[in-house]
Structure 1
Amino acid sequence: MNDDRRAQAADALTGRRVLVVEDDPFISSALEDMLTEHGCVVIGSARTVARALHLAASEQIDVALLDVSVGPERVDPVAELLAGRDCPFIFTTGYGRAGLPEAHASRAMVEKPFYCDEVIDALRSALRRSSREA
């Protein structure tokens, strides 16, 4: 990401509280580092649906990144909870759009493997849409 785009993304993301739901520790760590570098506050990185539900219910979240499959479980209950709170979220998946929860098939998605720019652009878009709808 060039310096101009990094500054623009950081401005839009600075201080934003992000929930990361990802069971792969390497991907989770990379996402946390990338988000922190862009000014986000990672409120938690959940590797189970139970932990994600706890964080989603108890923390103030501006936006979330949700892996569709977290271990043997699907992230659908977390998506439902966030949708009920009007909290924007983006799916991350290696299964394509066909793998998204049916109720949220039109939601933003970043397909694995992904580049930093794709995730940052998706976060910025989700936050812009959310602020327009508010």
Structure 2
Amino acid sequence: MTVTYVIDGSGITGLDGFWAAMGEAVNGPGGYFGRNLDSFADCLRGGFGTPADGSFVIEWRDHARSARALGHEETARRLEGLLTRAHPTHRAHVERELAEARAGRGPTLFDVLVGIIREEAGPEALRLA
């Protein structure tokens, strides 16, 4: 039997809101399901509230509103935070991504999150509604 986790995208106003919505969808109020891109990917692989056999679907309702909230502006905000602690060998890469996000180009956080879900849980595990 496939379990469906519903994310209400209308309440997502930024990345922190996504982490909270995803955590609550899977593990109830105050639930955890990642607080950064790497831990989110780990959670999607299993053992953090989803069925061990991977039989789950994430239904992301009002995803268009989430896509706007997780757009280039929020992407730039995240990259600004990363830049302050980036390793010197990685700093130029983060600066390039930041410049692209500020210019409204390149992948957004929404794009990255969708990609992680499809890569880690499978393309059929995400329903955009």
TM range (shorter): 0.3 to 0.5
- Which structure has greater helix proportion? 2
- Which structure has greater strand proportion? 1
Higher relative contact order (CA 8 A, sep 6+): 2
What TM-score, normalized by structure 2, do the two folds share?
0.33
